[in-house]
Amino acid sequence: MKPKKVKPYHTDEETEVYHIYKECTVGNNIEKENRQKGTGGYRPCKRCKEIQKGK
Ligand SMILES: [Zn+2]
């Protein structure tokens, strides 16, 4: 199954990364109301990068 890419989002309350995949379990732990649009100038989340590589 192909992972679904979403618009980048991040949170100011967590580690300084942003997420780009719907399947990201780390990103999914962020409450919707705490999500901010965009990358926030952070680096991509480790889990999202693994998803991108097809892991
Ligand atoms: Zn992620």
Residue 2 has pLDDT above 80, yes or no: yes
Sheet containing strand 5-10, strands side by side: 36-37, 5-10, 17-21, 43-44
Q: From ligand 1's centre to the CA of 23, what distance in Å?
A: 8
Question: Bigger pLDDT: 35 or 55?
Answer: 35
CA distance 20 to 6: 5
Q: From ligand 1's centre to the CA of 2, what distance in Å?
A: 15
Predicted confidence at residue 14, as pLDDT, reads 60
Residue with tokens 């989340």: 45
The pTM of the full predicted model, rounded to 2 decimals, is 0.89
Residue 4 has pLDDT above 90, yes or no: yes
Predicted confidence at residue 18, as pLDDT, reads 97
Q: From ligand 1's centre to the CA of 43, what distance in Å?
A: 10
Q: What is the pLDDT of residues 6-49, one digit of tens each?
A: 999 999 876 789 999 999 999 999 999 999 999 999 999 999 99
